[in-house]
Structure 1
Amino acid sequence: MSRLLGSTALFATLLIASIPQASAQVKTDQVQPVTIAAGNLRTALDQLADQFDLQLVVQGDLSDRDSGELSADMSAPDALEALLSGSGYGFEFVSDDSVIIRPVAGASTGAKDAVVLPEVVVSATRSRRSIGTMSPSVVVIGRDQIEVQAAKSSDITNVIRNTVPGFMFDDQSLIASTETFRGRDVQVLVDGVSRNTPLRNSSRILSMIDLQQVESIEVIPGSNAMNGDGATGATINIITKTGEVGKNSFVVDGHVKSYTDDIGDSFAPSLTLSGSGGVGVVDLAGSVTGSQSGNAYDGYGNQVPSDAMLGQGGFDNAEDLSVFGKVGVTMAEGHRLFLSSEVVRFRQDIEYYPDLSDDPVSVNYDSPYLAQPLEDDSQYFTAGYEFDFGKVGVGDLKLFYNDSYKQAARAEYHATYNPGLVSLANNGAIEDPLGQSVIDTVKYGVKLSTDTSLDAAYDGLTLTWGGDLTFDDVKYRTVSNRDIGAPMEQSGKAVFAQLSAPIGKYVDLSGGVRYEEYDLTVKDFTRPSYMRYNAGVAQQILAAAAFTGGETTYSAVTYNASAVVHWTDQIDTSLSYSEGFSVPDVGAYTRRAGLAGTSIPLNFDEIDVEASKVKTYEMAARYSGQDFRATGAVYMSTNEHGDNYDSSTNKLSQEKERIIGAELTGEYDVTADTFVGALASYVEGRYDTNEDGDLDSWLPNNRIPSPFRFTGYVDSYVWGDLNMRFDGTYTAARNKIEDKKIKPSLVFNLSGNYPVLGGTARFGIENILDTSYENPAATALRGYSVAGHGRTVTIGYRREF
């Protein structure tokens, strides 16, 4: 922990030194020239606060509101009144330099005639498209929404799950294996650059992204190939913070978290120091977060195993350091260079192995963990050029380099769930003490995206075009640097084109195509020997063998098309078709080579590496009324080739699949200070197990842990300034797989925010009733019962300077 705190202090010193500091305080009643351009209301308020050295506490979400131009000699109160006029919000000075911005009692902050809604732009589609021209199922989660969710949890998966209905309940661990969307895989982008490693799925993606560096989150449900392979269920694009010249700030944000079953042993502090701003042509943003955690407890009052899912680890008994920085230089109007970096250091020191014989899985206090810790040591760099070449187009060119080292925990031998352990090279009957697996990947490449206006041909017609060049280097090894899977290299190239245009004022059309080609090289390696314990006696079960690699080329052509109809100012509907694809997890396959018991090891030629193309058909609708808002979608996704490993034949089996589902969200303003809402989703799927063309079986639980999920919430201001949110999530049971029933669960949470001393104090309670329940996603992954986490209390404070 001293290393984390030392790094935090050093980074904070550099950050403070790099950001211009505010001048001496200006009296709020002093009249001075005020010049603010028309635009986003929250941005305008921040600029005004900088001019008068004010501390703002904003109650509500101003990200969807605009203000008019302001240019006059004014005092701070007069300027605030002018900016907030007609917005449904008012202000109150609680001290000489602290102002609360809150909804005005009796005013409708959602009325169409009270506010001007700015354009919300989505970039995950490679074009900068207005969200109003896209399917109503597309969601953009703004910073204000993130702050509300962060009161009770700093896990980014919780923010998405509580905002978007199609995202499955998380398994409360580090891995992404159960983070399915509409029963399929999720592609995670950070500023448009993929974090997925499909050749050997490293799983830990969203769990390693610091929520404090996130400005917004774009979620595009359905299959999509615009950013390459992996998005068969959804694309999630994390937009990081960017500094703004003339708006300099420094933020201290800290919290402590504990489980109420044992506050001392579960005590978990976290501290974030961040800042943003700029001077001249340079903009800066950065943050550093250091945290430490103790034990975790379930609703039964029992300690949760640190590694309940055999090698995947968890958030307890861990130290975490995340450092983020971004710098940009505006060379001329429309031309900007930028460089961003992110460094992650995570370590979990496990104390005991889990006892899989208990129901649910428990901590085996008689079996101390003596192996290497679980670790994540990763760094990500992106350099880019944003350009505006007039008639040629507006876009960006990005170069990226991702280097991730993900070390798993050691899992004990178990006859059913972990029947083979890597053994020593010179003695196949003795376990290798350094046999834990490590996925070491390097991914780099270049991405070009350009929007070219074709107004000369048709008013509003836009061509989005570009391409990608990528290279992956994957090593799958033990801690002792012995290959347990084939080393692999893959180069990819892709081109795409997308046309979009309005048809009159009522219809927006879009359609495009992408061609992708990969050249894969799988190298020869010696698959290590494996051992097991038989009645407590160690014995070799599989001798080391040579695996023969090879080369292959595979490709995919994908299409998409959509039509959005704006029937009225309040009602939109859409019909869309999209395709995405995924490639097999080749690394996992090569690790299993020869495990069927044959004397001759398998060659790479025996694997079917055909890309699995997923087609999604969706109908969606949106209603945006004065006091009520709702969205709904129904969809079906199909594919001819799945990516399932068949242990009976030691081959990949790529069966036909079909998934259907529906989603619904709704929100109602009871008063100006209180609103209620709900999210609901249904998903179910079948596949062809014997490859006769008939969908004869239900998809396994690890694909669909629960067919139905419902979240309801109430958000209200009480006692004037205290904002509180109460929510509950129900996940239904799944009984489709014989003898593998997933039980239902119901969990309630509470969070709150209150302005204190120029900042915001917050608290959160997860699982208020300390309910004992079975985590559906975790249980579905391994096939044995894993308990959900018990009641936690989080207390935090945020202050911006």
Structure 2
Amino acid sequence: MTFARLLSGASLFAFGAAVPAFAQEEDDPVFLGDIVIQAVRTGATESAIPGTVQVVEAEQILERVRRGQSLSRALSDLVPGLAPANGTIGGASQTLRGRTTQILIDGVARTSELRGFDRELSVLDPNSIERIEIVKGSTARFGNGATGGIINIVTKKPSDEPQTTVETRLSGQSGSGSISNELFLSHDQRIGDWGLRFELSRSETGLSYDGAGNRLPSDPLVGQGGGDNVERYTFGVAANWAQGPHELEIRLDAYRLEQEIDFFTDYTANPVRVTDRRYTGRPVEDQGASANITYRYDGTALGDLEITAFVTDVDRRAALAEPGPANTLYYTISPTDPRQDPLSQSELFTSTYGLSLTMRTPLTGLDPDATLTWGLDLGRDEVEQKTLDGRDLLAPMTQDSVAIFAQADIPIGPRLDLSAGLRAERFSLSVSDFTRPAAAQLTRTGVDILAPVDVIGGDFDYDAIVGNLGLVYELSPALSLYGGFSQGFSLPDVGAFTRRAVAQPGQPNVSFASIRPEAQIVDTWELGLRYNTDRLSIDSSVYLSTSDEGVVFDSATNEITQQEERIWGAEFSLDYDIRDDWSAGAELAYIEGRLDSDGDGDMDAWLPNNRIPTPFTATLYTDRSFANGLNLSGEIVFSAERDRPGRPQLEDMVRVNVGGSYPVGPGRVTFGVTNLFDRQQENSAASSVRVNPLTNDAVRVADEGRRFSLGYSVSF
């Protein structure tokens, strides 16, 4: 089915939704006011930030989740520049502007950046979300990791009135065993000056099928875990207290996720498929707990004070993947027995601790609205990755970080705002000695046995001073021009370098000092235009980001390299209220990038697909409400093919999703269909993760076919 036919079908749907069943009176638009963007830490609103900032409200997310979409897929459809979701519980290849994304929950990172294992969007229940803030481009506002941008998930706070919410959903496909179910409960209560919110959820996913009716494997991405047969529990408590200039917020969360895999995956098939070989590993697991507390005081002589302390503890288990063209490096029973060790399945253990102090000081001597935001960040990360029998797979690491920062926001005249800042950070990394277990490397000619190697650790320091400078010029009350320069700082996946350590011939060991990665600083230049009225919002921008120490993982050779690289792109967002009861919009993005593969200063190769799985994405959407309470919505989501010399060609991807809700009793019935036309296609992000070294082609993964969803939500 061509994209033109899908576009025509969606247009007919939108036209039908535009014809009201009943006459409806129009009300004046309601102006909700500017939202303070927590992810920039300065108390600034979106219109005052000299860069691309997007706020996705809870209802936009839930509307798509109620159709049967995952949180990661809903976000990728709504956020230009965010790569498509890969359809699993992990975030492999879901880059932002071609680089790593720092995912925060209430301004706090749940896992360590020292060892990438991203499942944050799968372990959080979408009903807990108040809004999601996306700050694009390299930034160091929260330290290490945000070279592509920040996704800050702001959770719901206790409401002012007692309230209980119950929501349940069922979804399924035409294949047997595909029924999935979800249940969410929350209760808000006020006791004196305290507000309390309790959240509890359970979800269970069934089997998953592609557009041709073929079952999708439970582990399509080699150890990452898939999206089927997953059972998840979450529990959260939020509390707040305010009295005079004092305010306190507390959040406690715990979750557990488990995926039962019944069969291994055939990664040589196109697309990958389920085999008849029974899975022999342990289930994929993810469990964690976190606590953070924030205290605010508005009465100091220096301005508004905010102190946040947090602690997180996360344990994650990967799937066991058989040796093969897509898993060429595996751990053996012994240096003389090349069979895969059945206990080599890996478990990752991370603990993070942090304390941040932020002060917002008025600079009334310069301008009544000028402010200086400054403060101190302290952090500690502890990381271990082991086999099931307790052997280290990477060097146990501890990292302490300390940073000071200052950010000035100064109006210059009635129409021009200046924003400038610096952040100085030091990372003290302690790497323990360890022995990398015996391993085997599959090659075109056979199997190379890699003897165990001792990795000598040590203590290492990384320092960075990064800055930003930007301007916002108000051309008219509705139109603003913005532009700026920003830097982000990142330590690459340090653990991966030790896990792949190989000694030189004749050497009994290898020193981490000889293989350690260089710190990466990313520079981003951006120019954009914002237009906002009561009914129409437009944001468009172009950008260029560069790095001398870009990081590329070659899945065909299991090598991680660093080299100079350049990424450029453009983004466009439009939202228009055609009437008070009918809106439409578009989200468009273009991105491409090259690297210097041989270090001669010439950008001679395209960035790999696992950094840029598609060069162009587009989402067209509409939403229509009726006088009888019926709401209908629909969208077309398109990802273009990528065909670059030296990289496997990836196909385009098109999905049409529709849904709605209708009041029944005290609540609302919700319904939806994803991939309405049941299109058989590959998932470009999933297919970008691995390359088969025997064929130099992508390990291709099919996208999920049509899914139906039905639910009910009520608050009382």
**TM-score clears 0.5:** yes
Out of 590, 610, 616, the position equivalent to 1:708 is: 616
Out of 603, 615, 618, the position equivalent to 1:695 is: 603
Out of 539, 560, 563, the position equivalent to 2:468 is: 560
**Which amino acid in the other structure matches residue 57 of structure 2?**
G
Pairing of 1:129-208 with structure 2 (within 5 A): 129-135=44-50, 137-153=52-68, 155-208=70-123
TM-score (norm 2): 0.92
Q: Which residue of 2 aligns with 1:127?
A: 42
Question: d(CA) in 2 for partners of 1:384 and 1:497?
Answer: 20
Asked which structure has the greater RCO (Cα within 8 Å, sep 6+), the reply is 2
The answer to whether 1:477 aligns with 2:398 is no
Out of 313, 338, 351, the position equivalent to 2:262 is: 351
Question: d(CA) in 2 for partners of 1:322 and 1:126?
Answer: 28
Out of 582, 598, 605, the position equivalent to 2:490 is: 582
Question: d(CA) in 1 for partners of 2:449 and 2:329?
Answer: 8
What are the Cα deviations for residues 721-762 of structure 1, in whole angstroms up to 9, with x where unaligned?
A: 211111011111111143610011111000101111121110
Question: d(CA) in 2 for partners of 1:150 and 1:120?
Answer: 24
**Which amino acid in the other structure matches residue 311 of structure 1?**
G
Q: Which residue of 2 aligns with 1:413?
A: 323
Q: Which residue of 2 aligns with 1:210?
A: 125
Please state whether the residue corresponding to 2:112 is helix, strand or coil. Answer: coil
Question: d(CA) in 1 for partners of 2:430 and 2:62?
Answer: 45
Question: d(CA) in 1 for partners of 2:239 and 2:433?
Answer: 43
Out of 277, 286, 299, the position equivalent to 2:211 is: 299
Question: d(CA) in 1 for partners of 2:314 and 2:709?
Answer: 30
Q: CA deviation at 1:273?
A: 0.5
Q: Which residue of 2 aligns with 1:7?
A: none
The answer to whether 1:229 aligns with 2:138 is no
Question: d(CA) in 1 for partners of 2:57 and 2:147?
Answer: 24
Q: Which residue of 1 aligns with 2:646?
A: 738
The answer to whether 1:335 aligns with 2:246 is yes
Out of 345, 356, 374, the position equivalent to 1:447 is: 356
Q: Which residue of 1 aligns with 2:283?
A: 373
Question: d(CA) in 2 for partners of 1:546 and 1:120?
Answer: 53
> Does the 8 Å CA contact 2:51/2:484 hold for their aligned counterparts?
no
Out of 718, 721, 734, the position equivalent to 2:629 is: 721
Q: Which residue of 2 aligns with 1:254?
A: 168
Q: Which residue of 2 aligns with 1:571?
A: 479
**Which amino acid in the other structure matches residue 285 of structure 1?**
R
> Does the 8 Å CA contact 2:549/2:564 hold for their aligned counterparts?
yes
Please state whether the residue corresponding to 1:513 is helix, strand or coil. Answer: strand
Question: d(CA) in 1 for partners of 2:362 and 2:577?
Answer: 40
Q: Which of structures 1 and 2 has the bigger CA Rg?
A: 1
Out of 270, 275, 281, the position equivalent to 2:187 is: 275
> Does the 8 Å CA contact 1:178/1:703 hold for their aligned counterparts?
yes
Q: Which residue of 1 aligns with 2:25?
A: 105
Q: CA deviation at 1:602?
A: 2.2
The answer to whether 1:435 aligns with 2:351 is no
Q: CA deviation at 1:532?
A: 6.8
Question: d(CA) in 2 for partners of 1:298 and 1:370?
Answer: 25
Q: Which residue of 2 aligns with 1:392?
A: 302
Q: Which residue of 2 aligns with 1:773?
A: 681
Question: d(CA) in 1 for partners of 2:367 and 2:569?
Answer: 37
Q: Which residue of 1 aligns with 2:586?
A: 678
Q: Residue 252 and residue 475 in structure 1: after superposition, are their counterparts in 2 closer, same or farther (change >3 A)?
A: same
Q: CA deviation at 1:553?
A: 0.4
The answer to whether 1:290 aligns with 2:195 is no
Q: CA deviation at 1:425?
A: 5.4
Out of 401, 407, 410, the position equivalent to 1:492 is: 401
Quote the sequence identity (%).
35
Gaps of 5+ in 2: 1-21, 691-697
Q: Which residue of 2 aligns with 1:516?
A: 425
Question: d(CA) in 2 for partners of 1:292 and 1:244?
Answer: 28
Pairing of 1:78-97 with structure 2 (within 5 A): none
What are the Cα deviations for residues 290-326 of structure 1, in whole angstroms up to 9, with x where unaligned?
A: 0111100011110000000110012211111011111
Q: Which residue of 1 aligns with 2:16?
A: none
Question: d(CA) in 1 for partners of 2:80 and 2:494?
Answer: 31
Q: Which residue of 2 aligns with 1:37?
A: none
Gaps of 5+ in 1: 1-101, 110-114
**Which amino acid in the other structure matches residue 270 of structure 2?**
D
Q: Residue 626 and residue 739 in structure 1: after superposition, are their counterparts in 2 closer, same or farther (change >3 A)?
A: closer
Q: CA deviation at 1:117?
A: 4.2
The answer to whether 1:460 aligns with 2:460 is no
Please state whether the residue corresponding to 1:588 is helix, strand or coil. Answer: helix
> Does the 8 Å CA contact 1:188/1:196 hold for their aligned counterparts?
no
> Does the 8 Å CA contact 1:385/1:396 hold for their aligned counterparts?
yes
> Does the 8 Å CA contact 2:262/2:279 hold for their aligned counterparts?
yes
What are the Cα deviations for residues 566-604 of structure 1, in whole angstroms up to 9, with x where unaligned?
A: 211211110111100110211111111117876543210
166-175 vs 453-462, greater mean Cα deviation:
453-462
What are the Cα deviations for residues 619-669 of structure 1, in whole angstroms up to 9, with x where unaligned?
A: 111122454321101001011111235799997532111111000111233
TM-score (norm 1): 0.83
Q: Residue 618 and residue 427 in structure 1: after superposition, are their counterparts in 2 closer, same or farther (change >3 A)?
A: same
The answer to whether 1:324 aligns with 2:236 is yes
Q: Residue 759 and residue 337 in structure 1: after superposition, are their counterparts in 2 closer, same or farther (change >3 A)?
A: same
Question: d(CA) in 2 for partners of 1:461 and 1:693?
Answer: 43
Please state whether the residue corresponding to 1:158 is helix, strand or coil. Answer: helix
> Does the 8 Å CA contact 1:196/1:230 hold for their aligned counterparts?
no
Q: Residue 533 and residue 157 in structure 1: after superposition, are their counterparts in 2 closer, same or farther (change >3 A)?
A: closer
303-312 vs 277-286, greater mean Cα deviation:
277-286
Question: d(CA) in 2 for partners of 1:597 and 1:762?
Answer: 63
**Which amino acid in the other structure matches residue 104 of structure 2?**
L
Question: d(CA) in 2 for partners of 1:426 and 1:661?
Answer: 48
> Does the 8 Å CA contact 1:136/1:572 hold for their aligned counterparts?
no
289-298 vs 150-159, greater mean Cα deviation:
150-159
What are the Cα deviations for residues 475-500 of structure 1, in whole angstroms up to 9, with x where unaligned?
A: 01112111011111111000000000
Pairing of 1:7-26 with structure 2 (within 5 A): none
